[in-house]
Amino acid sequence: MRIISGSHKSRLLKPPLGLPVRPTTDLAKESLFNILNNYIDFEDVKVLDLFAGTGNVSFEFASRGATLVVGIETNTKCVDFISKTATELKFQNLSVIKADAFVYLSRQSVEYDVIFADPPYDMPEREKVVKMVLENNWLSDEGWFVLEHDKYLNFAGHPLLYDERRYGKVHFSFFRKSPPEAEGQEDQIEI
């Protein structure tokens, strides 16, 4: 696992063995950030990383200069790793909260410019994350919500779906707070 770009470009991160996680692959993460780079200025965003796991995506946003990055994770060992690594890398813009993502999202909302969620692929209620984020004002008006999921989830026809990308077994669904305009919507690409 490595940080791809920014102040800590090429920095290898070595989470402890045995964590109950499935980190986003470097290829998928690099592709995700290449897409986001076309739409956002990383130095002007507040980011929420739900189901943060190893903090892989949180560290990438922090390295690219995001104003604020908040990771939400339930596993104590993961929270400890993210916290310790953020301190070692001197990321003042990154914090982690030990909490259940669904409980966190049921509280009073705070607007973020980018919300990334990577719930376990076998979590039955993972589609509920989309509803909670988009219907409870967690996303700023120009914000992006990205859900990482497997091929078994399909959001075709969702009114706020902007795009979907596939990188091997990893799928990203991109949502916007306002419905996308047909002529501004990109074609779906499978890699």
> What tokens does 141 get?
């008006």
Inside any domain, residue 38: yes
Rounded to two decimals, the pTM is 0.90
Inside any domain, residue 85: yes
Inside any domain, residue 34: yes
Please give the C-alpha separations between residue 166 and each of 21, 28, 70, 174, 190, in angstroms, as whole numbers.
20, 8, 26, 11, 5
Q: Say which residues have a Cβ less than 8 Å from residue 45's Cβ, sequence separation at least 6.
A: 61, 66, 67, 112, 113, 114
- SS3 track for the chain: CECCCCCCCCCECCCCCCCCCCCCCHHHHHHHHHHHHCCCCHHHCEEEEECCCCCHHHHHHHHCCCCEEEEEECCHHHHHHHHHHHHHCCCCCEEEEECCHHHHHCCCCCCEEEEEECCCCCCCCCHHHHHHHHHCCCEEEEEEEEEEECCCCCCCCCCCEEEEEEECCEEEEEEECCCCCHHHCCCCEEC
User: What is the model's pLDDT at position 168?
Assistant: 85
Which residue range forms the structural domain that includes residue 70?
26-113+129-142
* Residue 135, domain CATH: 3.40.50.150
> What tokens does 183 get?
């002529």
Inside any domain, residue 176: no
Inside any domain, residue 185: no
Inside any domain, residue 99: yes
> What tokens does 82 get?
């993210």
Number of domains observed in the structure of the chain: 1
Please give the C-alpha separations between residue 89 and each of 2, 10, 123, 188, in angstroms, as whole numbers.
13, 13, 32, 36
Digit-by-digit pLDDT tens for the chain (191 residues) are: 899 999 999 999 998 888 888 878 888 999 999 999 999 999 999 999 999 999 999 999 999 999 999 999 999 999 999 999 999 999 999 999 999 999 999 987 789 999 999 999 888 888 899 999 998 889 999 999 999 999 888 899 999 999 999 988 899 999 998 766 643 444 454 44
Inside any domain, residue 161: no
Inside any domain, residue 121: no
